[in-house]
Amino acid sequence: MMWDLSGGGQGSPPYYAQQYPGTSSSAPSFPAVPGGYHTGPPPMPFMPIGAPGSDNIMVDRYHSSSAGPWTVPDASPAPVARSPVSVHVHSHHRTHHSHSHSHSHGHSHSHSHSSRPVVQQHSSTPARLTRTRPQPDPIQPVQTSAHAGHLQQPHFIYSKCTGRKKALCIGINYRGQPNQLHGCVNDARNVQNFLMSHGYKARDIEVLTDDTSDPRRLPTRANIIEAMRRLVQSAHPHDSLFFHYSGHGGQVKDRNGDEIDGYDEIIFPLDHKSAGHISDDLMHTIMVKPLPPGCRLTALFDSCHSGSVLDLPYLYHSDGRVKGSQVTARWHDYKSTPADVISWSGCKDSQTSADTWERGVATGAMSHAFVSSLTQNPKQSYQELLRSVRVVLKKKYSQKPQLSSSHRIDTNLRFII
């Protein structure tokens, strides 16, 4: 199915290239999950998160000639981006100048003279959309000299993942909202099932989705933050924690100078219009900083603009080399940790991630690729898995999955959870 995005606004009727979701003979099948999957109707016409119906939102009109990850070679329903395409989400109450992308090193705009960066948690004011196009992701080379202070964490320990296993899976379809998605709840259930097949017990996996009537299980901002805290509570060396988020993502102006590109990455809770977003700074503070050496946290983000959404300072090429950092030099040591923290994200900071269909089932492209790759071949190194999910997605989508870590890792080692 294709949507007419060239005009007419929200009320424009869809143009159907094919009435129902098609199937792909090469797409891996999904394992069965308790409660079944949401197949539902074809995706609704894409609208930016929070729009329409909000007085403080500005929306760009998207044209059919615009390039984007929804472009597919066949007649199956067009995937829907999980954030505005070619639009940054910015905080409307503060300004900040982004760094020049022609420089090889980022420069902090902070005027603080403290020797240690000050963590600023974002307010709960809902974000707004502006008409700024995303720029290519700037990368700062990681320094290795002692004077730069960017050495391996002295107490870092690779996790054996032999301790307790806990997980938090979040899927938000934003039911009833104009920016509704279709595959996120399925993603949460599919990842939950995948983890249970890898030694995680059902009682140790917390799931927050917006298809429940239990208010304690809804993915509101307060519930998500409390669930994040429970996930890392009482963590020990060689525990294996897993965090999965499938939903809308975006960017706001960086407020503390830790971002090379001048923008913090954010995720959108179900109640983001009233309670606000959750920033990468806050997620790092809650889920990364408290972890002890040797404790593993694996994060999987299936959302737009998620390349550095956990603020981890080491970013990798698919050949295993460290390609740099999107964390500024001043913050590099603070964002590094002796814990074993790994993040897999569906796209670069400047890209969008697709909400799509595989074999007639609504899904997020990254969640599907990650689970399918490890189901077909459980014994993969970090770089093999990164290449594998990129190969799966490259067939249909322009998004490029990213791998980052809180410490420099040997990507030839086998990835374990």
- Residues marked as catalytic: 248, 304
C-alpha 207/C-alpha 404 separation (Å) is 24
The count of residues in the chain is 417
Secondary structure (3-state) at 243: strand
Beta strands 340-345 and 296-302, pairing class:
parallel
Single-letter amino acid code for the residue at 61: R
Q: How far apart are CA 34 and CA 254, in angstroms?
A: 41
**What's the rounded Cα separation, in Å, for the pair 192 and 169?**
7
* Residue pair 323/390 in contact by the 8 Å Cβ criterion: no
Per DSSP, what are the bridge partners of residue 80? 355
Cα(142)–Cα(129) distance, integer angstroms: 32
Amino acid at 379: K
Answer yes or no: are the C-beta atoms of 186 and 194 closer than 8 Å: no
**Cα–Cα distance measured from residue 33 to residue 51, given in angstroms and rounded to the nearest whole number:** 33
Which amino acid, 336?
S
Residue of 165, 145, 134, 190 whose CA lies nearest to 350? 134
Task: Write the CB contacts of 102 (distance below 8 Å, at least 6 apart in sequence).
Answer: none
> In whole angstroms, what is the distance from residue 302 CA to residue 57 CA?
24
Sign of CA dihedral 273, 207, 82, 355: negative
The string of DSSP letters for 351-372 reads: S--EEEEETTEEEEHHHHHHHH
Torsion, Cα 34 374 413 398, to 10 degrees, reads -110
Please state, in angstroms and rounded to a whole number, the distance separating the CA atoms of residues 307 and 325: 11
Residue 201: CB atoms within 10 Å:
12
